[in-house]
Amino acid sequence: MNDQWPRYEVFKQERDGGPFRNVGSVHAPDAEMALLNARDVFARRPACRCLWVVPAAAIVATPIVVNAAGDAEPADASGPLEPYAVCGKSSERQAMTYVDYLGRVEARSAAEALRAAPALGAARIWWVFPERVISRSDPEDAPGLEAATGKLFRMSNQYHTVVTMQKIRRGDEGEE
Amino acid sequence: MIDPTLAVPLADRLLAMADDELILAHRNSEWAGHGPILEEDIAFANIALDEMGHAAIWYGLRGDITGEDTDRLVFFRNAGQYRNVQMVELPHGDWAFSMLRQYLFDAAESIWLGQLAASGYEPLAQAAAKIATEERYHLRHTSLWLRRLGLGTAESHARLQTALDALWPYARQLFVPLPGDAALVAAGILPDPAALAHEWHGRARPYLTECGLILPDETPPRRDIPRTEHTEHLMELLAVMQSVARLDPAAEW
As for the ipTM of the complex, it is: 0.78
pLDDT, tens digit, for every residue of B198-211? 999 999 999 999 99
Pick from A37, A151, A160: which is nearest to B253 by CB? A160
The CA R_g of chain A, rounded to the nearest whole Å, is 22
Q: How many residues does chain B have?
A: 253
Structural domains in chain B, CATH included, are 4-214+224-247 (1.20.1260.10)
B136 vs A contacts (CB less than 8 Å): 144
CB contact under 8 A, B39 and A28: yes
Pick from B49, B134, B144: which is nearest to A32 by CB? B144
Note the pLDDT of residue B124: 97
pLDDT at B131 over 60: yes
pLDDT, tens digit, for every residue of B54-71? 999 999 999 999 999 999
pLDDT at B128 over 80: yes
Mean pLDDT over the full length of chain B:
94
**Measured distance CA(A35)–CA(A42) in Å, rounded:** 10
A159 vs B contacts (CB less than 8 Å): 253
Nearest chain B residue to A31 by CA: give it.
B144
**Measured distance CA(B36)–CA(B27) in Å, rounded:** 16
Tell me the shortest Cα–Cα distance from B73 to chain A, in angstroms. Answer: 17
Nearest to A91 by CA among A122, A127, A62: A122
Note the pLDDT of residue A44: 80
Biggest alpha carbon–alpha carbon distance for chain B = 56
Note the pLDDT of residue A76: 60
B252 vs A contacts (CB less than 8 Å): 160-161, 164
Q: Provide the percentage of residues in chain B whose pLDDT is more than 70.
A: 98
Question: In chain A, which residues have pLDDT < 50?
Answer: 66, 175-176
Pick from B37, B134, B252: which is nearest to A164 by CB? B252
Cβ–Cβ < 8 Å for A8, A26: yes
Nearest chain A residue to B139 by CA: give it.
A36
User: Mean pLDDT over residues B164-179, rounded?
Assistant: 94
Contact of B253 with chain A, judged by CB distance below 8 Å, is answered with yes
Contact of B40 with chain A, judged by CB distance below 8 Å, is answered with yes
Alpha-carbon B144 to chain mean position: 19
**Measured distance CA(A42)–CA(B9) in Å, rounded:** 41
Residue A84, φ and ψ in degrees, nearest 5: -110, 140
Note the pLDDT of residue A72: 53
Size of interface A-B (CB pairs under 8 A): 44
* Beta strand ranges found along A36-118 (DSSP E): 50-55, 60-61, 82-89, 100-107
Mean pLDDT over the full length of chain A:
83
**Measured distance CA(B2)–CA(B122) in Å, rounded:** 10
**Measured distance CA(B111)–CA(B171) in Å, rounded:** 14
Pick from A41, A144, A164: which is nearest to B42 by CB? A41
Poorest-pLDDT segment among A17-21, B149-153, B205-209, B239-243: A17-21
Q: Specify the 3-state DSSP secondary structure of A123.
A: coil
CB contact under 8 A, B39 and A29: no
Contact of A154 with chain B, judged by CB distance below 8 Å, is answered with yes
Cβ–Cβ < 8 Å for B125, B117: yes
Can you say whether the dihedral through the CA atoms of B106, B112, B115, B117 is positive or negative?
negative
Note the pLDDT of residue A176: 46
User: Mean pLDDT over residues B178-195, rounded?
Assistant: 96
CB contact under 8 A, B42 and A143: no
The 10 Å Cβ neighbour count of residue A172 is 10
pLDDT, tens digit, for every residue of B63-110? 999 999 999 999 999 999 999 999 999 999 999 999 999 999 999 999
> Which residues partner with A22 through β-bridges?
A11
Pick from B38, B133, B148: which is nearest to A29 by CB? B148
Q: Is B10 or A169 the better-scoring residue by pLDDT?
A: B10
Note the pLDDT of residue A157: 74
CB contact under 8 A, A37 and B53: no
Domain ranges of chain A: 7-147
**Measured distance CA(A170)–CA(B150) in Å, rounded:** 58
CB contact under 8 A, A27 and B37: yes
Contact of B41 with chain A, judged by CB distance below 8 Å, is answered with no
pTM: 0.87
